[in-house]
Amino acid sequence: MATYLDFESKIEKIQEEIVSAHAIANFDAVNKHQNELAKEVQKTFGSLSDFQKLQLARHPDRPYALDYIRLLMDDAYEIHGDRAFRDDPAILCYIGWIKGQKTMLIGEQKGRGVKNKIKRNFGMPNPEGYRKALRAVKMAEKFDIPV
């Protein structure tokens, strides 16, 4: 279930109407509401205040690095550790294929849920995380892989 911010209340209402119209197979109403939704999204997100932009940046359903990696990469393998101390779970280093091109992706992962956030130190990397990222970049350079 999606999480809506206070300024997205009209969008939430229209999406609920789309779901209810779709449930009773009223496709004319679905098309009407989808057009309404597109206009409302344009209107709402076209004129956000600074605080609303901040709320959107901190949205709880915003995708994290691991979400993008899972969507973009085929046959992805995670690189662990900095070979000096330990692995930092806040920094992700993946090597895999994107549209037939071998690629290295490096990102920061906050985690969802309390246990996962604690495991990943709330997305705050330690020195070993930076060393792990540096190691991944050097590996990509050595094998001529884009980062």
Regarding whether 83 and 22 lie in a shared domain, the answer is no
Residue 130 falls within a domain, yes or no?
Answer: yes
Question: What's the Rg (C-alpha) of the chain?
Answer: 21
Residues 95 and 33 in one domain: no
Q: What value, to the nearest 5°, has the Cα angle with vertex 109 and ends 122 and 111?
A: 55
Residues 90/124, Cβ–Cβ less than 8 Å = yes
Give CA–CA dist 12/58, Å, rounded.
18
Q: Which domain holds residue 10?
A: 6-57
For 18-56, write each residue's pLDDT tens digit.
888 878 887 888 888 888 889 888 988 898 899 999 998
- Does 126 fall in a domain? yes
Interval 76-135: pLDDT, tens: 999 998 888 989 999 999 999 999 999 999 999 988 889 999 999 999 999 999 999 999
- Domain tally, the chain: 2
Beta strands in 57-114 (DSSP E): 74-78, 91-98, 101-108
More confident residue, 143 or 16: 143
